[in-house]
Structure 1
Amino acid sequence: MTYPFTLISHSLCPYVQRAAIVLAEKSIPFDRTYIDLSDKPDWFKAASPLGKVPLLKTGNHRYLFESAPIVEFIDETQAERLHPDDPVERATHRAYVEFASQILNGIGALYSAADEQSFENAKHALRSKFEHLDTRIDATGPYFDRDRFSIVDAAFGPVFRYFDVFDTFTDLGIFNDLPRVRRWRCALAVRPSVANAVTNDYATLLRAFVLKKGSWITGLMLSAESESPAHSIR
């Protein structure tokens, strides 16, 4: 069966996940095509002037690129809206979607840090952003905007997924004493649209990606693996 939308994806891209989550929240069936970003096909280069995923192929065979306009297009054309109706609230939500993008940049700095000091600096910068979020999230509901799932939640689901993997080999402590963020993280983890936005081998692929980085966090992962019971058996 051919569906009206095709999401051009990469297995680890958090911005692809945003689009997948929003499509799922709208109950829109879609096809998904995965590409190797190290060996981009010619059709992809022609459709994506920035050479990045996601791309969204629409029913009229036109391609949209960049996650923000893709998500906005889906929200504007497919009921029911995930953005708030109030213009000020809608603008605030869009700002926090960008805030999520800045946190993703911070996560990139974390897993790319070459030494302990750079790693600690990146961790501190991330902690500061989550401290702000803990003051912003409403205390009465599981999501960013109380009990209403929004595009901000779609943006932060992929953010927290990184830490689900990092937690398997190191204790970053970034969410310590941040009860609202921790509650939000748990609520997003079990949301079907968020959980199903990646393939079953996501954690394995991310660990392989981190291992290949050869950065400070790579050393933490290798140290944790060497100390695990499976590695202690002779």
Structure 2
Amino acid sequence: MTQSPLALVSHPLCPFVQRAAIVLLEKSVSFDRIDIDLTAKPEWFLAISPTGKVPLLKIPQESGPDAVLFESMVICEYLEETQEGVKLYSADPLERARQRAWIEFGTATLTDAWLFLNAKDAATAAIKHAAFREKLERLEGVLEHGPYFGGAAFSMVDAVFSPVFRYFDILKPDVSTSLFDGVNRVSAWKSALMKRASVMSSVGDDYPERFRKHLRDHGALLGA
């Protein structure tokens, strides 16, 4: 009897879902994607999600109900440990710890980017623009040979940063120019990530318009 595939409970715009989807795609793991409306969360979802957030990973069990994991990096690390295919963490303990540290930095970078993108007034936008730009400058100082964060191989760090950079390929070019001007290594890294098959396939074709609509609906300056 063929076992059911893993199921990723998600929302079309969630950057944390994208992390898990990228890892699944990199490892060529078959999975179902179940999108929910986070403004009207279904009861079945609330019953299995302690935080009420996506992503969730449902893992079929031979007997009994599915096992459920929550929190994006918990899911990503479970997939790294249990699934075949390319390894996204280094085998070296020190380098692996370094990767995990930059993943934490990636989450902080996502927060700054999100607050900038959703700013509703010029003063807030300027503060968050500066905070995000500072993160990019820090990254510029640690990137070396490329095309990815650690060199030739795509890693978990790349999976984490890809959803952050995706936003800026959707917005008007002048927004990206003001942020990425002069950080040439980061810009090249961003370009390489946006061409990666797993990154492109981790969202639907309608993602750009969904995101623009989100900005408009939330009254963000960038949605005008």
What range describes the TM-score normalised by the shorter chain of this pair? over 0.9
Report if the CA contact (8 A) 1:130-1:181 is conserved. yes
Amino acid at match of 1:31: D
| TM-score for the superposition, normalised by structure 1 | 0.89
Secondary structure at 1:174's aligned position in 2?
A: helix
- Offset of residue 4 of structure 1: 2.3
Aligned to 2:192: 187
Aligned to 2:111: 105
Say yes or no: does 1:177 pair with 2:182.
yes
Distance 1:108 1:158 in 2: 11
- Larger deviation: 209-218 or 60-69? 209-218
Report if the CA contact (8 A) 2:215-2:222 is conserved. yes
| TM-score for the superposition, normalised by structure 2 | 0.93
Aligned to 2:158: 153
Q: 1:145 to 1:165 in 2, by over 3 A?
A: same
Say yes or no: does 1:55 pair with 2:56.
yes
Aligned to 2:214: 209
- Offset of residue 32 of structure 1: 0.5
1:65-76 correspondence to structure 2 within 5 Å = 65-76=70-81
Aligned to 1:225: none
In structure 2, stretches of 5+ residues that fail to align are: none
- Offset of residue 114 of structure 1: 2.6
Q: Please report the RMSD computed on the Cα atoms of aligned residues, expressed in angstroms.
A: 1.5
In structure 1, stretches of 5+ residues that fail to align are: 223-234
Secondary structure at 1:120's aligned position in 2?
A: helix
Say yes or no: does 1:196 pair with 2:201.
yes
Distance 1:201 1:159 in 2: 17
Distance 1:48 1:93 in 2: 28
Deviations 1:110-135 (A, max 9, x none): 12323212101100100000001011
Distance 1:25 1:94 in 2: 18
- Offset of residue 168 of structure 1: 5.0
Aligned to 2:127: 121
